Structure formats: structure tokens, C-alpha cells
Amino acid sequence: MERGGYIIDLGLLDYQKAWDLQHRLWSRRVEGELPDLLLILEHPHVITLGRRGNRSHLIASPEVLEAMKIPILHVERGGDVTYHGPGQMVVYPILDLKEYGYRLIRYIGQLEEVILCVLKDAGIEGRRDPLNRGVWVDGEKIASVGVAIKRWVSFHGFSLNYETNLKYFELINPCGLKGKKMTTMAKILGTEISRERLIERISFHFKQIFERDWKEKDLKDLIADGRLKLSTKYKSDRVISH
């Protein structure tokens, strides 16, 4: 397999569909049928529970969540409970970590470094917390990291709040942390955030840290050249509205 990689902007994609897609791409990366991949996308409203996920950290009742049409999924990523929704950039690297010589802790640190660099470009000083992974700004969390690694190939990844509606985090104890608040780039800067510029900065810093010959691709390109077989249900909605 070539030492290259594909960056794919999936737009707005349902969490379950994106989860299924990750598994398909992970399998093909394990078999060497695809190079490293970086998926960048947003999800409609959803709450996910990681391996340490505890339903006691759901503040809203199942009835309230059902009425709000917010599904809950238990997934294999690390971490506890989190919320995904429009205005939050989600990044799923599907990497063969053997080729980088990375262990889990270093890999998580490198993902945090990508986030820190992106925030610095915007004039925001983020910081790490070794007890609570992710990135923080003035005591509030702006980005969460939760990964899975099987057969040395990663999936899941990180989420960065850029224009997220923070009221949805009130439905949970984010990452299982009581009393902690979430924040967004837009809230800190008091201005709108360009999605296109944000994707460009994420891609740039990812390329700097995870050195490969990265190329932008569309999912349909992989289907067209026979490297991936998927049904049309994976077509994303490119119109992002908050």
C-alpha cells in the first residue's frame, strides 16, 4: 500500500451511517486495500456512550430525548458520554498506527496537538488536562477525544465545537464530568467561524503531524475506482445549517 492518505469531507452524515462506514473503511485499511484515511464531518443531533459510558450521566430522561428525537448509541470508542450535532466538527482518522510507531497515549496526544494548533491559528489558547483528555480553554472543554484501535488501525477520533448549540450539552454530564461546562470557538471569539477555513486548518495541521502524501478525495471517487463498495445510503447532505 502506498504511503499516502485520503482526506474526505463527508458533510453532514447520520451517526449510525458514519459508524457503519468507519467499520467498512477500517476493514479495508486493515487488509491494505486503502491507504490511511481522514474523515471530516458533522452529525445531526446524537448522544453516544463510549466504553466507559454510564447512563447515569444522562441528565435528560429517555422520554425527553425521544421527544427531542435525539438517539443514544453505545459505541466502542474510549471515554464516557458525549453529544454530537451541527456546528461541531468531527474528525475520524483511520490510520495504520504501526507505520507511525505510535502507542495509544502518544496517538491521543498527537490528536490533541492538531486541535491545539487549529485553535492557535484562530487566536485561542487551548490546553491539555492529563486527567481528562481533550482540549480545554479557561476551564471549559472545547474538544473531546475518544478513539478505538483494533489490529493497530484506529477509528473514531475527536470532535471540536466551533459553533455548536451548547444547550444540548445540558442534557448530559459531558464526558461524565459533573459541573464542567463546554464552550465553542464562536463563543470565545464572539464571531462566526468559517467551516471551510476550519476544515483547511484541520487538514493542514493533520498533514504536519501525521506525515503522508495526503490528497483530498470524495467518497464517490473510492466507489468509482472499485476500491470501496457502498450503497447510496452513505450519500451525505452537503448543506450545513445551524
Catalytic residue set: 175
Q: Return the C-alpha cell found at 238.
A: 452537503
Which distant-in-sequence residues (6+ apart) come within 8 Å of 94 by Cβ? 22, 25, 26, 29, 36, 37, 38, 39, 153, 154, 155
Q: What is the DSSP string of 67-115?
A: HTT--EEE-SSSSSEEEE-TTEEEEEEE-BGGGTT--HHHHHHHHHHHH
Q: Return the C-alpha cell found at 153.
A: 488501525
- Report how far residue 93's alpha carbon sits from residue 156's, in angstroms, rounded to the nearest whole number: 7
Q: Please count the other Cβ atoms lying within 10 Å of the Cβ belonging to residue 218.
A: 12
- Report how far residue 174's alpha carbon sits from residue 144's, in angstroms, rounded to the nearest whole number: 9
Assess contact for 241 and 195: CB atoms under 8 A. Answer: no
